[in-house]
Structure 1
Amino acid sequence: MPVISVITPVHAGRSAVVLEAGESLAAQQLPADWTLEWLVQEDSATPVLADAINAFPFARYQANSEHLGIAPSRNLALGRSAGTLVHVLDSDDVLLPGCLAVAIEAFATYPSIGWVATQAHDLLLDGSWRSFDPLIEPGPIPAGAVADYYFSAIDSATGFGRLPFHPNCTTLRADVVHALGGWGGLPRMEDLSLIAAITELTPGYFTPEVGFLRRKHSGSVSVTDEWLHLMPESQTAVERRVQALRALGLHQRVL
């Protein structure tokens, strides 16, 4: 029976919203014979969330018992996953009904792809959604096109590029994620490091459906000045990774 593994790193400060994330998983209806596992990795020296998470019958909880950060926590969860597909759900975000089924069906329709991205909206503090027009046309996306888009969309004010979709909108082939070593060991952009590599090596599919709500709130670390100060160095590391894949000719192979 095929499994889709959803990975969520979390800390105690997200105890309220992570339950909403779990409820959004409970509302997913998967295609026949597929099962869901929710791999929650509590990133804390004093874990407190085991009972709340284990109330979900599809959850598989583990605590780091020390603070490691986002990428190591995701990779530890990846190491104990059983799925042929992997999806990241941050603790403060939610999936819309049908999100995982849409991704699974896309993989069945396009068996050579390595990733599926759904569209996303912002979830605002008042519970309303802020919608966005897609930055690229839905449909099959060739290998290399995502990195081309990112580095062609550099903001002149910040120097940062922009993905054509949010990295946490993606469902990934687990074998490719394992082969690439999971999420990059960067202080920032660890998600972009993996997405840049997997979209460089494999074609993918961008769905017309909106499957993901990204919660906008003041507690998000990605909006702080402290978080931004290592972004340029992290982006350079991602760019070097893409350049290396192309120089070695790996982007020309189908995995």
Structure 2
Amino acid sequence: MRRRIIVITAVHAPSAHFLPDAYTSLLAQELPEGWEWHWLIQEDGRSDEVAPYVPDDPRVTFTQERPGGPGTARTLALALADGEYVKVLDADDQLTAGTPARDLAALEGDPTIGWATSRALDLLPDGSTAGFLGDPDEGVIEQGALFDHWSANDYRPQVVPGTLFARRHLVLALGGWMALPASVDTGLLLALNAVSRGWFTSDVGLLYRKWPGQSTSRPAHTDPAERDARMAVVEARARALSGLRWSSPPADRAPRAPAPPAD
């Protein structure tokens, strides 16, 4: 029986024409023997403008629901998530070759790691790319470390939330993506880090497209009052989860370090 990585994409009409590029990036992926991907494309709304861009591929499932924002669309897609892992892919972004395989190796290799992220590059309109400063070193990100950095740096995450790969049962346990107009990936990432360790890969895993129609370029996204409200809810959720002192896996089930040899 083959095992699956579920790639979840929320899409609305203005970004639908980028879906073929995202699909091409999925086709370039090589997974370990016995693994496959299943792409869930969830339209945020019901229109006739997205379906023409959805690939005709049995590994792709397209669904539509009434509009509720990207967080709602991604969470609704979980209803069809028939695999052990969830990978985020925005409709206008592209995965680089090898990304899901690297994420998978990190989580399959260590059951105490609940999620993974990777380096990202901005994909500019002229086709060139630009990097980010401040990426952490490759390796384990301890429980709570992302929140500490985020809260001390004007609510700017140390890693790119759009590169998230996570255990499906953890995403479900946390209620999926937050019901916010934006910052939903950040909210889920910080919630995951509140209850589990993560992994960061320094290889580039995502090309983050910059274009005039993207939601982060709209004035509402940077409106101070709305941003403050979003960040307050994201912070409160992460703090509440930390206060529960819940960890995944539970401390009594986490792998123990081998005992030192007897003298």
Structure-2-length-normalised TM-score: 0.89
Relative to structure 1, the CA distance from residue 236 to residue 251 in structure 2 (aligned partners, 3 Å threshold; closer, same or farther) is: farther
**Partner residue, 1:36:** 37
Tell me the distance in 1 between the aligned counterparts of 2:125 and 2:52: 27
Match of 2:161 among 148, 152, 167: 167
Identity of matched residues, %: 34
SS of 1:3's equivalent in the other structure is: strand
Unaligned runs of 5+ in 1: 155-160
CA apart distance, 1:54:
4.0
Task: Trace 1:184-203 onto structure 2 (pairs within 5 A).
Answer: 184-203=178-197
One-letter code aligned to 2:177: W
Q: 1:137 maps to what in 2?
A: 137
1:204 aligns with 2:198: yes
- Would you say the 8 A contact 1:183–1:191 is kept in 2? yes
| Mapped partners of 1:114, 1:48: distance in 2 | 36
> Which consecutive residues of structure 2, in runs of 5 or more, have no partner in the other structure?
255-263
Q: Is the 8 A contact 1:29 1:101 kept in 2?
A: yes
> In the alignment, which residue of structure 2 is the partner of 1:114?
114
TM-score by length of 1: 0.92
The equivalent of 1:99 in structure 2 is 99
CA distance in 1 between partners of 2:242 and 2:106 (Å): 27
Partner residue, 1:63: 64
Distance 1:228 1:134 in 2: 22
Aligned positions of 1:152-163 closer than 5 A: 152-154=152-154, 161-163=155-157
Distance 2:55 2:200 in 1: 33
Q: Between Structure 1 and Structure 2, how many residues are aligned?
A: 248
Specify the SS of the correspondent of 1:91.
Answer: coil
Superimposed CA distance per residue, residues 148-178 of structure 1 (whole angstroms, 9 cap, x where no aligned partner): 1111112xxxxxx111111011101100001
Comparing 46-55 with 82-91, which one deviates more in the overlay?
Answer: 46-55
Change in CA separation of 1:140 and 1:29 when aligned onto 2, cut-off 3 Å:
same
SS of the equivalent of 2:24 reads helix
Aligned to 1:246: 242
**Cα offset for 1:184?**
0.8
When the two chains are superposed, the root-mean-square deviation of aligned CA atoms in Å is 1.6
When residues 134 and 207 of structure 1 are mapped into structure 2, their CA distance, relative to the original with a 3 A threshold, is farther
Q: How far apart are residue 226 of structure 1 and its match?
A: 1.8
8 Å contact kept, 1:176–1:198: yes
Structure 1 residue 183 corresponds to structure 2 residue 184: no
**How far apart, in 1, do the equivalents of 2:114 and 2:50 lie?**
33
Report deviation, 1:36: 0.4
State the alpha-carbon separation in 2 of the partners of residues 210 and 28 from structure 1.
14
Provide the C-alpha distance between the structure 1 equivalents of 2:228 and 2:234, rounded to a whole number of angstroms. 10
Bigger radius of gyration among the two = 2
Secondary structure of the corresponding residue to residue 102 of structure 1? helix
Shift of residue 70, structure 1, vs aligned partner = 0.5
Mapped to 1, the partners of 2:185 and 2:211 lie a distance apart of 20
